[in-house]
Structure 1
Amino acid sequence: MIFSCVVLALAGFAAGAQNAVAGGGSFLTFPALLFVGLDPRAANITSTIALFPGQATTGWTGRRMAGGAAGLSLRTLFVVSVIGGAIGAVLLLATPVSIFTHLVPWLILFATLVFVWGSFFRKQRQEENEPAPLPPRVAVGLQFLIAVYGGYFGGGIGILMMAALTAVGLSVRHAGATKNVLAGVVNVAAVAIFLARSPQNWTLVLVLGIAAIIGGQVGVLILRYVPETVLRVVVSLIGAVLTVGMFLKA
């Protein structure tokens, strides 16, 4: 048990720092939880609960820069995110462990591809004045689908939101702040349902969660010394290795 806690503390610390710098912390906590013996669905639920406090803190800190998009208010996006996150969480709990185990490699592959695309190939819009190409209804639909995915699995949700929010006209800076708020909203719905309907190993949750909060604070300092590109490459490689490993295990 002590060894498991050490592994989770290290993974949580690194995930918190990674989320603060570039996102993708679940790529670290998910395999760590699998390593200490949890099945894929339990690992996904535990990771979501443990990382939530850090996400909520980040969203709260940058809330003044968050806003609506494509004619939609932040409140509208807030409501859509809560509903979608709740639906995703219910779908996860309704999915048998055996089925979710077979889905995991595909979910991780999808999340990894999204992360790589968002990290290295997504067109930057902060210096552009392009009109938003997506109408409000499409924006609502995208956010709803992203929220459902976030409540169900969550890997790569930040990049998905960044892509959608910049596509509807937000600058990268404001899209990032809005993404942090909405990611917290999606997960608060999922966490509430997980806590009500799924038993937890609170030792694992607390070790992972506390380490992630500390790591998040250190992440700000890391920004001064480690290039963000290096961190994105590391996360992308972790996702690729985890994808291959899960396909071989499935």
Structure 2
Amino acid sequence: MTLHLLILVAGIWAGAQNALAGGGSFVTLPTLILSGMTPLAANITSTVALFPGQSASGIAAAKLVTGAGKLPFRALFVISLVGGALGGLLLLSTPSKVFEHLVPWLVLFATVMFAWGSFFRKTREGSANLGPIKTSVAQLAIAVYGGYFGGGIGFLMMAALSMAGVPTRNAAAIKNALAGVMNASAVVIFVMSPQLHWIAAITMGCGAIVGGVTGSWAVQRINERALRVIVVCIGVALTIGLFVRPV
């Protein structure tokens, strides 16, 4: 009962964090690993659990969604769907022990991307540097990474969309929508995996929905910069913990 309560609380926190600043997987991944799952099972379960909240965020901002890099949104949609599926298949074909050795580096990369996107990235609206081909390649690479692991994809997409000349407000909406799309294809694959822990995914998913609604309400009331600092600290602590953890 205590374990399920912890998973529920982690889901609430992650849902609110994704609505406010992103980086919810920094909460769900260590919680599920601490519950006894392998990093591979924890990553699969976390992706499935957080998917409903991500979809709701994308739908809520649908009116701000546009194309990018001279590509219509439907092209970005298809690219994200294909890339997410490829990443999910790649993850399932990765042996658990191999992924266990990869995950500290993936978390480190995601933490660096989150910190860079939060505090160092400078947006340049209206100056499209990426054409349709480069935008397609960038989105496909991000989608494959998103289906495989997912940490930091928001900031990778924000950077790519900004370089394609998309205004920040629209880029955030497109990012939320495409994150849901790429995770949708991964989730369809993951639900057939024996590595998925259904009870934990449902418990955490319910918490994430509650957290997402709460986070949407609190977005104008909480210091987002302070929350981003907390996320980076969690990422650093998780990275160190995973590197020193015996494998």
Answer yes or no: is the 8 Å Cα contact 2:86–2:144 preserved in 1: yes
Q: Residue 8 of structure 1 aligns with which residue?
A: 7
Answer yes or no: is the 8 Å Cα contact 2:123–2:159 preserved in 1: no
Question: Match for 1:99: what amino acid?
Answer: V
Q: Residue 223 of structure 2 aligns with which residue?
A: 227
Secondary structure at the residue paired with 2:159?
Answer: helix
Query: Taking structure 1 as reference, are residues 199 and 38 closer, same or farther at Cα in structure 2, changes over 3 Å only?
Result: closer
Q: Residue 113 of structure 2 aligns with which residue?
A: 114
Deviation per CA, 1:163-219, whole angstroms, max 9, x where unpaired?
111110101100000011100000000000111234532211111000000001111
Give every structure 1 segment of 4 or more consecutive aligned residues whose post-TM-superposition deviation is greater than 4 Å: none
Question: Match for 1:87: what amino acid?
Answer: L
Q: Distance between the aligned counterparts of 2:103 and 2:154, measured in 1? A: 18
Question: Match for 1:40: what amino acid?
Answer: P
Q: Displacement of 1:224 after TM fit?
A: 3.1
Q: Distance between the aligned counterparts of 1:103 and 1:27, measured in 2? A: 16
Q: Displacement of 1:34 after TM fit?
A: 0.5
Secondary structure at the residue paired with 1:216?
Answer: helix
Q: Residue 96 of structure 2 aligns with which residue?
A: 97
Q: Residue 188 of structure 1 aligns with which residue?
A: 184
Q: How does 1:163-202 map to 2 (within 5 A)?
A: 163-202=159-198
Q: Displacement of 1:4 after TM fit?
A: 1.0
Q: How does 1:1-250 map to 2 (within 5 A)?
A: 2-125=1-124, 128-129=125-126, 131-249=127-245, 250=247
Answer yes or no: is the 8 Å Cα contact 2:49–2:205 preserved in 1: yes
Q: Distance between the aligned counterparts of 2:210 and 2:157, measured in 1? A: 25
Secondary structure at the residue paired with 1:197?
Answer: coil
Q: Distance between the aligned counterparts of 1:224 and 1:157, measured in 2? A: 23
Question: Match for 1:101: what amino acid?
Answer: E
TM-score by length of 1: 0.96
In structure 1, the gaps of 5 or more residues are none
Deviates more, 1:228-237 or 1:215-224: 215-224
Aligned residue pairs: how many?
246
TM-score by length of 2: 0.97
Deviates more, 1:163-172 or 1:198-207: 198-207
Question: Match for 2:115: what amino acid?
Answer: V
Deviation per CA, 1:113-161, whole angstroms, max 9, x where unpaired?
0000000001033xx44x2111211110000000000000001111111
Q: Displacement of 1:76 after TM fit?
A: 0.5
Secondary structure at the residue paired with 1:211?
Answer: helix
Secondary structure at the residue paired with 2:8?
Answer: helix
Deviation per CA, 1:82-111, whole angstroms, max 9, x where unpaired?
110000000000000000000000000000
Question: Match for 1:124: what amino acid?
Answer: T
Q: Distance between the aligned counterparts of 1:94 and 1:122, measured in 2? A: 34
In structure 2, the gaps of 5 or more residues are none
Q: Distance between the aligned counterparts of 1:123 and 1:234, measured in 2? A: 21
Q: CA RMSD of the aligned region, Å? A: 1.0
Q: Distance between the aligned counterparts of 1:146 and 1:200, measured in 2? A: 23
